Amino acid sequence: MYSYIGRRILITIPTLVLVSIFIFTLQKLLPGDPILVLAGEERDPEVIAFLREKYRLNDPIPIQYFHWIGAVLQGDFGISLRTNQPVLELIKEKLPVTIQLAVMAMIIAMLIGIPAGIFSAIKKGTMIDYIANIIALSGLSVPNFWLGIMLILLVSVNLGWLPASGYQPLFEDPVKSIETMIMPAFVLGTALAATLMRHTRSAMLGVLKADYVRTARAKGLYESVVVIKHAFRNALLPIVTLSALLFGELLAGAVLTEQIFTIPGFGKLIVDAVFNRDYAVVQGVVLCTAVGFIIMNLLADIAYLFLNPRLRDQV
């Protein structure tokens, strides 16, 4: 089994190399010249020539790539063309913001998704189950950005209950921090809640049929005790594994949500960087996201192995 895990880790190397080549090439191919924008309204040709040279934009793309990846391997991600800030610093600055958003979204999703899933599993086939399913699918179907602007309109503009944007570091002012983040986290959490609900439901259905639950029922235990203590506990593991996997999706979902609510996190950083052709930032951030995504997948795979002895023997 350890050789399997070792192999899994080894394959991530070519994957990462491919990601880096891929994102590097793609954005070098993007139309638009960041130097023209950077040179300012006057576009002094001397400055343009100097900046091209400085950021090595005259080199052939493969040379540029090797130069960049060589620096990255030494921990130097380059600097933002737009603000001259080191990319690594930007990543360190933005990562906690997006993680806070993702964690809050996950908590909201779990608070809604898991109870709903349990409930509809117990009431399988009834109207309640049916309605819960429609609601869950609605959560999956509503466009995040639309939900976001509608909430801003209703909650911030019309009712004035919550701030429409902004970010407060969690440790500076927890109350304000949560206050500003709750709406975006809800928006981000809706789709997730739906996915969680559906998986909880099917995991519960599987467990409710199992012998030990029948035995527990036969012993005359209260239904609620049966559901919570016996069934849910056993359904929990696959749900947790799934949640880890969904974290990757959360990061992707944060892209537009952060844009709508003006949250200075990863998503906003990267979208603005793509539009500004801020090469080093796009490369650095996508690489980091990919690493995070791959690690999450790896952990989920390994966790799965440990949870399923049957699978463990196979590999």
Partner 1 sequence: MRKLTIAAMMAALAAGVAGGAITGASAAELRIGLQDDPDVLDPDQSRTFVGRIVYAAVCDKLVDITPDLEIIPQLATGWEWSDDGLTLTMDLREGATFHDGTPFDAEAVKANIERSKTMPESRRKSELSSIETTEVTGSHQVKFTLAAPDATLIAQFADRAGMMISPTAAAEKGVELGLQPICSGPFEFVERVQQDRIVLKKFENYWNADAIHVDKVTYLPIPDTTVRLANLRSGDLDLLERLAAPDAASVKGDSSLSYAEAVSLGYQGITINVANGEMAKNPLGEDPRVRQALELSIDREALNQVVFEGAFNPGNQPYPANSPWYDKSTPMPARDVEKAKALLKEAGYDKLEISVQVANNPVQMQVMQVVQAMAAEAGIDVKIKATEFASLLQAQSAGDYQGSQVGWSGRVDPDGNIHQFMTCEGGINDSKYCNPEIDALLNEARQSTDNAVRKVKYDEARKVLSKDLPIVYLYHPTWIWAMSSKVEGFTAYPDGMIRLENVKVN
Partner 2 sequence: MTSATTTVKPEAPSRSESRIWNKLKSSKSAALGLILVLFFVGIAVLAPLLPIDDPTATSWGAIRKGPSAAYWFGTDELGRDILSRMIWGAQASLLAGVVSVAIAVFIGVPFGLIAGYFGGWLDGIISRVTDALLATPFLILAIALAAFLGPSLTNAMIAIGLSAMPIFVRLTRGQVLSVKTEDYVEGARAIGLSHTLIIVRYILPNVFAPILVQATLAIATAIIAEASLSFLGLGQQPPAPSWGSMLNVAKNFLSQAPWMAMWPGAAIFLVVLGFNLLGDGLRDALDPRET
Q: Which residues bind partner 1 (CB under 8 A)?
A: 31-34, 36-47, 50-51, 54, 80, 82-85, 90, 93, 152-153, 156-157, 160-161, 163-167, 172-173, 175-176, 260-262, 264, 268-269, 272, 275-277
CB contact at 8 A, 37 and 52: no
In angstroms, rounded to a whole number, what is the distance separating the alpha carbons of residues 120 and 1?
37
In angstroms, rounded to a whole number, what is the distance separating the alpha carbons of residues 30 and 222?
63
User: Could you give the C-alpha distances from 128 to 117, 136, 297, in angstroms and in order?
Assistant: 11, 12, 34
Residue placing its CB nearer to partner 2 in the complex, 23 or 118:
23
Q: How far is the CB of 279 from partner 2 (least distance, A)?
A: 12
Residue placing its CB nearer to partner 2 in the complex, 109 or 226:
109
Q: How far is the CB of 223 from partner 2 (least distance, A)?
A: 24
Q: How far is the CB of 82 from partner 1 (least distance, A)?
A: 5
Determine which helix (DSSP H) or strand (DSSP E) holds 140, and give its type and residue range: helix 127-141
In angstroms, rounded to a whole number, what is the distance separating the alpha carbons of residues 64 and 50?
17
Strand, coil or helix: 86 = strand
Determine how many CB atoms are found less than 10 A away from the CB of residue 78.
Answer: 19
Cβ contacts of 301-306, under 8 Å, gap ≥ 24: 301/8, 302/5, 302/8, 303/241, 303/244, 304/241, 305/1, 305/4, 305/5
Residue placing its CB nearer to partner 2 in the complex, 216 or 294:
294
Instruction: Residue 208: name its binding partner from partner 1, partner 2, none (Cβ under 5 to 8 Å by kind).
Output: none
Instruction: Residue 212: name its binding partner from partner 2, partner 1, none (Cβ under 5 to 8 Å by kind).
Output: none
The residue ranges that bind partner 2 (CB under 8 A) are 11-12, 14-16, 18-19, 22-23, 26-27, 29-32, 130, 133-134, 137-138, 140-147, 149-150, 152-153, 157, 251-252, 255-256, 259, 270-271, 274-275, 282, 286, 289-290, 293-294
Q: How far is the CB of 79 from partner 1 (least distance, A)?
A: 9
Residue placing its CB nearer to partner 1 in the complex, 239 or 251:
251
